[in-house]
Amino acid sequence: MRFSFLGTQPSARSSGRLQPYQSLFVSDHADGTTVINHLAVDMHAHWLPGVDDGAKDFQESIEIIRKLSELGYRKLIATPHIMSGYYDNSPSFLIERFEDFLRKFLLENIDIELALAAEYMIDEGFKKHLDSDFFLLLPRKMILIELPILNAYAGYEELIFEIKLKGYQPVVAHPERYGYMHADLEKYEQLKDAGCLFQLNMLSLNGQYGKNVASIARELLDRNWYELVGTDLHNRSQLKQLNSIELNGHFLNHTLIKNVATPIPTGI
């Protein structure tokens, strides 16, 4: 499938040298065609202001959205944290805040579609969401879940099983960032066997979370274990970090092209 060019720097491409931002969105195919805007939908970011550790205010939020729009994204899905003890956001509260935000956003005249999902922490507090069965979902009944960064919650496998049992598709956010799994890649295989999809955090690639995370991200890419990719942007300084990512054959592997480029822009 081919995508039309929606980027902002055509002159950089015609000069034969890609600007760093543009390199995020361009890949030359062997047959000479170009895949552009393969990341048309961002399914992980924290630009809904004032609800978690993401954008602090409306202005920062708009800066992030405007830049992603300029980069060629056509749809952005906010995924604020739902994390008991830290960000006890209920789905209904987030919907209310999102609707308030949209009312102001419409006055900004930015041509992009916005949507709301959430990033659910898999720990003790997640059980109440399972019981309520009221989730803020990504498309196709996907639930974006994260595991604790330092130590896994002992019951996470059971909770993932229950997510599947209720007919949802768990998507594990940034699996490369869970240091306790680095020494034992079988743990990743177990998540795969449990039916999870993996979502790469784009900023993991440039060492923002350390060399080990970057190296595991490359390893998982080489194994074709990622199906999805997200920016996980929280603020304007991370927005600048996108500038330093050099995407290459590792990133644009067949799994990501197949699962990110083709079905998602047409299926959402």
Least distance from Fe ion to the Cβ atom of residue 141, Å: 19
Pick 26 or 260: Cβ nearer Fe ion: 260
- b/e map 176-201, b = 16+ CB within 10 Å: bbbeebbeeeeebeebeeeebbbbbb
What is the rounded distance in angstroms from the CA atom of residue 245 to the CA atom of residue 258?
A: 21
Pick 145 or 261: Cβ nearer Fe ion: 145
Pick 69 or 199: Cβ nearer Fe ion: 199
Element (H, E) at 133: none
Pick 19 or 241: Cβ nearer Fe ion: 241
Pick 119 or 176: Cβ nearer Fe ion: 119
Q: Which residue's C-beta sits nearest to Fe ion?
A: 232
Least distance from Fe ion to the Cβ atom of residue 131, Å: 24
Pick 48 or 220: Cβ nearer Fe ion: 48
Least distance from Fe ion to the Cβ atom of residue 33, Å: 33
Report the half-sphere exposure of 96 (CA within 13 A, side-chain side). Answer: 6
The total of other beta-carbon atoms located within 10 Å of residue 217's CB is 26
Least distance from Fe ion to the Cβ atom of residue 119, Å: 5
Task: Answer for the pair 49, 56: CB distance below 8 angstroms, yes or no.
Answer: yes
Query: What sign does the dihedral 37-43-49-53 (CA atoms) show?
Result: negative
Give me the phi and psi of 103, to 5 degrees please. -60, -40
Residue ranges in contact with Fe ion by CB under 5 A: 119, 232
Least distance from Fe ion to the Cβ atom of residue 53, Å: 9
Residue 136 token pair:
């803020």
Least distance from Fe ion to the Cβ atom of residue 143, Å: 13
What is the rounded distance in angstroms from the CA atom of residue 2 to the CA atom of residue 25?
A: 13
The DSSP secondary structure of 173-191, one letter per residue, reads E-GGG-GGGTT-THHHHHH
